[in-house]
Amino acid sequence: NPSVFSAIEMAPRDPILGITEAFNADTNPNKINLGVGVYYDDNGKVPLLACVQKAESILIEQPTPRTYLPIEGLAAYDKAVQELVFGADNAVIQERRAITAQAVGGTGALKLGADFLKRFSPDSEVYISDPSWENHRALFESAGFKVNNYAYYDAATHGVNFPAFLAALKAMPKGAIVVLHACCHNPTGADLTQDQWGQVIDAVVTNGLVPFLDMAYQGFGAGIAEDGAVVRRFTETGVPLLVSNSFSKSFSLYGERVGALSIVASSAEEASRLLSQLKRVIRTNYSNPPVHGGKVVATVLATPELRQLWEEELAAMRVRIKATREAFVQKLKDKAPGHDFDFVREQVGMFSYSGLTKEQVAKLREQSIYAVDTGRICVAALNSKNIDVVVDAIAKVL
């Protein structure tokens, strides 16, 4: 007898998890996975930050019962996040125009924002960069939106096709929701200059667009304040604004699922209405967020010594990525003269669109080196032990 389940088809495989599966099945002991989306240290391990361990020790010394958190999360966490994302002296905080809710990672923050927007702007369409983080489209579609791409990456220069991007923004209808990567664009590593951001902000304001800044890598680009500068610039315009942020990478807290959604309103009174509605969205999704990760991050951010330690540990990750880019470019210059990889140095954050073709990626796989078909490599998956192997393999397939 057919059941309600019998006609359900197999869903398509996740392209990135597919790489992980193939990688795990590879018996070559020297295999290298550049397809990952996490930061590895120079030993090829996901770090456990010392600031996190210290915060956890503090929390263990003061055991507390596991009550429910408020719907919008731990108050100390929401406050600390707001100050980090907007800058502590930002007028939107002083004037109580910003609301922040703890979310289940950056993904959870995006989904809350998407569900919220669908309730109050149901006919808007969403625009994401071409290409974008592979979950953006599915996530906004699952909230019921039509999702379009805007021109962004230029394969010829390995950078941003800024004139095309700006033209796309200017052509969007009023009320369109535009998802922007605040820093460290995933997957390309191609970011805007501050001057280009100024032009983007002008276009968003003039055209009446709804900006949704996704900031999953604050501190991985130029620094915590530098990477957050674009958020601050948007708040100065007075337009409605949504910001999703994640601590998965910056605290190496992937599995704890710590992120937040912030929304900027035009007044404190409007903000309180928005928060009441956002709480309904949360309530009907998962009621309230988990405790542990939020407490760890709030403890680190609010304890001066731990905060200092975190900033140092984050800086070390950022510096290692930059040094790795430099080494990668230099080594390719030696091993593959005539091929220009200088653009890898200009790219920002964990990823690089390396320019490797699908065919070249397939040939790398024959040498047990795994990358995404698009040529995206995770620069943080390179380290002092594997970089020469990778460079030699790339030189062979060029």
List residues binding ligand PLP (CB under 6 A).
37, 105-107, 133, 181, 186, 214, 216, 246, 248, 259
Question: Nearest to residue 51, comparing CAs of 297, 329, 231, 228?
Answer: 297
Contact 375, 362 (CB under 8 A): no
> Which lies closer to ligand PLP via its Cβ, residue 37 or residue 159?
37
Contact 150, 128 (CB under 8 A): yes
Closest distance of CB 244 from ligand PLP, Å: 7
Backbone dihedral angles phi then psi of residue 53, each to the nearest 5 degrees = -60, -40
54, 111, 118, 249: which is the annotated catalytic residue?
Answer: 249
Contact 185, 374 (CB under 8 A): no
Backbone dihedral angles phi then psi of residue 329, each to the nearest 5 degrees = -65, -45
Tell me how far apart the alpha carbons of residues 28 and 24 are, in angstroms, rounded to a whole number: 10
Contact 220, 249 (CB under 8 A): yes
Closest distance of CB 104 from ligand PLP, Å: 8
> Which lies closer to ligand PLP via its Cβ, residue 244 or residue 360?
244
191, 214, 227, 310: which is the annotated catalytic residue?
Answer: 214
Tell me how far apart the alpha carbons of residues 78 and 292 are, in angstroms, rounded to a whole number: 14
Closest distance of CB 61 from ligand PLP, Å: 28
> Which lies closer to ligand PLP via its Cβ, residue 191 or residue 331?
191
Tell me how far apart the alpha carbons of residues 337 and 325 are, in angstroms, rounded to a whole number: 17
**Residue 54 known to be catalytic:** no
Q: How far is CA 67 from the centre of its chain?
A: 30
Closest distance of CB 186 from ligand PLP, Å: 4
**Burial label, 61 (beta-carbon count in 10 A; 0-12, 13-18, 19+):** exposed
Of the chain, the end-to-end C-alpha distance in Å amounts to 55
> Which lies closer to ligand PLP via its Cβ, residue 166 or residue 260?
260
Contact 188, 351 (CB under 8 A): yes
Question: Nearest to residue 50, comparing CAs of 323, 296, 320?
Answer: 296
> Which lies closer to ligand PLP via its Cβ, residue 136 or residue 331?
136
> Which lies closer to ligand PLP via its Cβ, residue 251 or residue 370?
251
**Residue 310 known to be catalytic:** no
Closest distance of CB 362 from ligand PLP, Å: 24
133, 227, 295, 331: which is the annotated catalytic residue?
Answer: 133
Q: Residue 52 is encoded by which pair of tokens? A: 């996190």
**Residue 214 known to be catalytic:** yes
Between the CA of residue 318 and those of 128, 222, 332, what are the distances in Å?
26, 8, 21
Closest distance of CB 370 from ligand PLP, Å: 17
Active site members: 133, 214, 249
